[in-house]
Amino acid sequence: MTADLARLAAAVPANVREVCGVLTKAGFQAVTVGGAVRDALIGREPGDWDVATSATPEQVMASFRHTIPTGLQHGTVTIVTGRGIASHVEVTTFRGEGAYSDARRPDSVRFGVPLDEDLARRDLVVNAIAYDPETAELHDPFGGRVDLAAKRLRAVGNAVERFTEDGLRVMRAVRFAAQLEFELDPATEAGIAPALPSLAKVSRERVADELRKILAARQPSRALAIARRTGIVRSILPDVDAAAGEDWLPRIDRAPGEVRLAALFAPLAANDADPLHLDRDATRRVLAIGRALKLSNVECELAAQLVGALHAERAAVWAPADARRLLAALDRDKRVHAAELWQNAALAAETRRILAAGEPLAVGDLAIDGKELMAALDQAPGPAIGRILAMLLERVIEDPARNTRDQLLRDAQALELEVGH
């Protein structure tokens, strides 16, 4: 047996093997297929194992004690083989697909087709390999194993047609280029541009999921460079596409995982913004685009604030107080991430120093609180106290040495005379 087949045979989990065995003994064909077979063959950690079978969903349900009718319209039944979600095995009846008139799902699904027809509806040749753990036989009608060895991604059949049927496939193709570090076959790449009208019809949630997977790859640029030159970026992020320059992709590759979305949106930072203030327009632009893409609030907020502060990296000179003022405008949990995104090493280093030293950046960091201040000034709660605290913070950002109780009380008394009641 060759090394890749031996790896695959050893990788099939016992419960998946068991599910295939039960169906085979009942007289049906049952094979593992898709991403897990692909990954096991190349020695990558497989994700979920999917089983495909000639049995109908009813026949599958009749063959096992514990089943869940997960997606009967797609022919999918989940077999519960033990405790916990890891024991679940999804079994899907071999199916062929009719035409796709909406670029998202087929108009009709036909069950009872042979395995090769089920494989033919899959997106990429490397995803269209089936393995029978009972007979240790590979079903590889399109040459997936050769493509895996060549680290090559090809569409099954005609690329334009396959990408047009389901617009998400163009994103999957470029995603796998980054995730697997494979080359996209030129003829397959050429099929992307003509299929882009289909991508526009795909739900933004699915597009966002693919983007997240791309950004989680070691080098997202492997996907995004193709996405840019084929028009995928123009389709899903037109404003980023219009503004992106030479440094767009290198920055994304260099960025740690948490700040890669911000790096993706980095071209939305304005060139002419005041370097040491938060650029609220850029923040708003990123929020609007992130929300339209159905990113989570947490993702949107982080990316928006970091892009709002990004232009600070262009400031050639700044005083430490300027850096503190800029950091004070960011949420506490986002400040360290700003330093991860900036390509101005001195500014990033100063930021890390400020954060490590715990220099005061918010009213909550002051050495006195509102209660003490009210008592010392003999004042009732009200907006005046808030104003005085804000002014104290402003002074402390200028000079952190002022952040002592005595100094702040003296400052507050002087300010109270200035501000009045």
Name the residues that contact Mg ion, by CB under 5 A. Answer: 35, 47-48
The distance of closest approach from Cβ of residue 156 to Mg ion in the complex, given in angstroms and rounded to an integer, is 16
In 266-382, alpha helices (H): 280-292, 297-310, 320-328, 335-341, 345-357, 370-377
Q: CA–CA separation, 57 vs 343, rounded Å? A: 55
Q: Do residues 275 and 318 touch, judged by C-beta distance below 8 A?
A: yes
Residue among 52 and 368 whose Cβ is closer to ligand ATP: 52
Q: Do residues 160 and 191 touch, judged by C-beta distance below 8 A?
A: yes
Q: CA–CA separation, 108 vs 112, rounded Å? A: 13
From the list Mg ion, ligand ATP, none, pick the one residue 123 interacts with, judged by a Cβ distance below 5 to 8 Å according to partner type: ligand ATP
From the list Mg ion, ligand ATP, none, pick the one residue 217 interacts with, judged by a Cβ distance below 5 to 8 Å according to partner type: none
From the list Mg ion, ligand ATP, none, pick the one residue 166 interacts with, judged by a Cβ distance below 5 to 8 Å according to partner type: ligand ATP
Residue among 130 and 385 whose Cβ is closer to ligand ATP: 130
The distance of closest approach from Cβ of residue 279 to ligand ATP in the complex, given in angstroms and rounded to an integer, is 36
What residue is closest to Mg ion based on CB?
35
Residue among 34 and 275 whose Cβ is closer to ligand ATP: 34
Residue among 33 and 266 whose Cβ is closer to Mg ion: 33
The distance of closest approach from Cβ of residue 47 to Mg ion in the complex, given in angstroms and rounded to an integer, is 5
From the list ligand ATP, Mg ion, none, pick the one residue 195 interacts with, judged by a Cβ distance below 5 to 8 Å according to partner type: none
Q: CA–CA separation, 250 vs 182, rounded Å? A: 19
Q: Which residues of 313-349 are buried (b: 16+ CB within 10 A; e: fewer)?
A: bebeebebebbbbbbbbbeeebbbbbbbbbebeebbe
Residue among 76 and 305 whose Cβ is closer to ligand ATP: 76
Q: What is the largest CA-CA distance in the chain?
A: 92
Residue among 33 and 328 whose Cβ is closer to ligand ATP: 33
Q: CA–CA separation, 286 vs 265, rounded Å? A: 7
What residue is closest to ligand ATP based on CB?
35
Residue corresponding to tokens 């232009």: 311
Residue among 74 and 234 whose Cβ is closer to ligand ATP: 74
Residue corresponding to tokens 């609220």: 280
The distance of closest approach from Cβ of residue 74 to ligand ATP in the complex, given in angstroms and rounded to an integer, is 11
Q: Do residues 163 and 191 touch, judged by C-beta distance below 8 A?
A: yes
State the residues that interact with ligand ATP by CB under 6 A. 34-35, 47, 50, 122-123, 127-128, 166, 168-169
From the list ligand ATP, Mg ion, none, pick the one residue 180 interacts with, judged by a Cβ distance below 5 to 8 Å according to partner type: none
The structure tokens listed for 161 are 């047609």
Q: Do residues 351 and 335 touch, judged by C-beta distance below 8 A?
A: yes
Residue among 70 and 343 whose Cβ is closer to Mg ion: 70
The distance of closest approach from Cβ of residue 50 to ligand ATP in the complex, given in angstroms and rounded to an integer, is 6
The distance of closest approach from Cβ of residue 20 to ligand ATP in the complex, given in angstroms and rounded to an integer, is 16
The distance of closest approach from Cβ of residue 110 to Mg ion in the complex, given in angstroms and rounded to an integer, is 23
The distance of closest approach from Cβ of residue 125 to ligand ATP in the complex, given in angstroms and rounded to an integer, is 10
From the list ligand ATP, Mg ion, none, pick the one residue 143 interacts with, judged by a Cβ distance below 5 to 8 Å according to partner type: none
Q: In what order do the strands lie in the sheet with 30-33?
A: 67-71, 76-80, 88-93, 50-53, 30-33, 130-132, 137-139
Q: Which of 325, 331, 362, 363 is nearest to 347 (CA)?
A: 325
From the list ligand ATP, Mg ion, none, pick the one residue 311 interacts with, judged by a Cβ distance below 5 to 8 Å according to partner type: none
